[in-house]
Amino acid sequence: MATRILILGASYGSLLATKLLMAGHRVTLVCTRSTADLINGEGTVVRFPRKDKPAVSIASRSLPGSLDACTPDQADPARYDLVVLGMQESQYGQDGVRQLMARIAKARVPALAIMNMPPLPYLFRLPGVNVESLQACFTEPAVWSGFDPKLVSLASPDPQAFRPADEPKNVLQVGLPTNFKAARFGTEAATQLLRRLERDIEQARFEGEEIPVKLKVHDSVFVPLAKWPMLMTGNYRCIEDDGMVPIQQAVHGDLERSREIYQWVGNLCMRLGAQPEDLVPFEKYANAAASLKKPSSAARALFGGAEHIERVDSLVQRLAQQFGLRHAAIDQTVRLVDARLARNRAGQPQEELEAA
């Protein structure tokens, strides 16, 4: 039986959508009007790298599932079995999306986030965390007020993907084909739905071939937090005072310093309740980071003039403070992001930002 899935965000969301379409499910992507028209007219194309083979392009129209797209005001979440939150955290407060989020909360549809920033209701599922003190890390925390934490889960967005600059907006290129690692929901029914999708994606094939990027469901609510050491060691350290550097350089420029930061954030996750097996060894991450030759999306957004980005850096800093912990590198990252956002919000010309 096909599951009906509503995915907010047609860029990164089209990656998981393609895997669900391969398994025969019904997916609706929520996006802007122009992108929705493009997808409804032509479908999507996602390119997956393969080991020792050329990349494979998978068109949604060649898959057994069905795909359509709509704008936020057209989406009726009550018609779906699952909602996937595939936008960046700062986008949920935008007009149209904000109202859709309220409808999702009211419909009590399970919501799985594939974001770097954990949804605010998900943080209530972490024992002993003072969630009220973390609201300042969110662009518009009121967006999350109607959600039942038991119906909100998080998948670590480990797969890396981007829209090629010279391609239409319905094309996505996967750069690092790792897996979505999801935590169980707070209800058994929602978790069983997620596990069924996990099995369906595992069994799906394209022209008889297994395609990378799977959905892995874990009992531990801490498994998705394994992305935090990676973000704080690589993604946010792409941001420097006078410009940005690739993730590879941020990590491998001083490997021992990177190891120290990675382990410190991992230890914070364990203070929250994570077990060592919930996390990813530094060596495995460093090996993957060696192939990431572009600055992170957060860095590109900041130096492109963005006034809001996901603030996992601030979230990690504030969580550490709840345990009386500080780290100079984390504090420095937060200062750099705060300063760049202040400059962007002050209206510094785009040309000056790009030259900085």
Same domain? For 190 and 299 the reply is no
Q: Are 201 and 20 in contact (CB under 8 A)?
A: yes
pLDDT at 356 > cutoff 70: no
Q: What CATH number is attached to the domain comprising 264? A: 1.10.1040
Same domain? For 9 and 58 the reply is yes
pLDDT at 353 > cutoff 60: no
> Which residue's entry shows tokens 């990676």?
230
Question: What's the Rg (C-alpha) of the chain?
Answer: 19
Same domain? For 148 and 71 the reply is yes
Q: Average pLDDT, stretch 164-181?
A: 93
Residue-wise pLDDT for 328-346, tens only, equals 999 999 999 999 999 999 9
Residue-wise pLDDT for 79-105, tens only, equals 999 999 999 999 999 999 999 999 999
Residue-wise pLDDT for 241-280, tens only, equals 999 999 999 999 999 999 999 999 999 999 999 999 999 9
pLDDT at 128 > cutoff 50: yes
Among candidate residues 218, 236, 257, the one where a domain is terminated = 218
Same domain? For 92 and 190 the reply is yes
Same domain? For 240 and 205 the reply is no
Q: Is the dihedral of CA 146, 229, 301, 40 positive or negative?
A: negative
pLDDT value for 106: 98
pLDDT value for 351: 36
Three-state SS letters, the chain: CCCEEEEECCCCHHHHHHHHHHCCCEEEEECCHHHHHHHHHHCCEEEEEECCEEEEEEEHHHCCCEEEEECHHHCCHHHCCEEEECCCHHHCCCCCHHHHHHHHHHHCCCEEECCCCCCHHHHCCCCCCCHHHHHHHCCCHHHHCCCCHHHEEEEEECCEEECCCCCCCCEEEEEECCCEEEECCCCHHHHHHHHHHHHHHHHCCECCECCCCCEEEECCCCHHHHHHHHHHHHHHHHEECCEECCHHHHHHCCHHHHHHHHHHHHHHHHHHCCCHHHCCCHHHHHHHHCCCCCCCHHHHHHCCCCCCCCCHHHHHHHHHHHCCCCCHHHHHHHHHHHHHHHHHHCCCCHHHHHHC
Instruction: State the total domains in the chain.
Output: 2
Same domain? For 322 and 339 the reply is yes
Which band of pLDDT confidence, cut at 50, 70 and 90, is reported for residue 51? confident
Same domain? For 162 and 266 the reply is no
Inter-axis angle of helices 312-322 and 255-272, to 10 degrees? Answer: 60
Residue 144 and residue 313: Cα distance in Å, rounded?
Answer: 20
Mean model confidence pLDDT for the chain? 95
pLDDT at 355 > cutoff 70: no
Residue 263 and residue 233: Cα distance in Å, rounded?
Answer: 9
Among candidate residues 184, 218, 252, the one where a domain is terminated = 218
Q: Average pLDDT, stretch 309-326?
A: 97
Q: What CATH number is attached to the domain comprising 60? A: 3.40.50.720
pLDDT at 349 > cutoff 80: no
Q: Average pLDDT, stretch 69-84?
A: 98
Which band of pLDDT confidence, cut at 50, 70 and 90, is reported for residue 1? confident
Residue 284 and residue 356: Cα distance in Å, rounded?
Answer: 33
Which band of pLDDT confidence, cut at 50, 70 and 90, is reported for residue 11? very high
Which band of pLDDT confidence, cut at 50, 70 and 90, is reported for residue 124? very high
Same domain? For 129 and 15 the reply is yes
Residue 130 tokens, joined: 């003072």
pLDDT value for 350: 42
**Full residue range of the structural domain in which residue 235 is found:** 225-355
Q: Average pLDDT, stretch 165-171?
A: 93
Same domain? For 211 and 269 the reply is no
pLDDT at 165 > cutoff 80: yes
Among candidate residues 191, 218, 245, the one where a domain is terminated = 218
Same domain? For 131 and 8 the reply is yes
Same domain? For 189 and 237 the reply is no
> Which residue's entry shows tokens 């319905």?
170
Share of the chain above pLDDT 70, in %: 97
Same domain? For 207 and 316 the reply is no
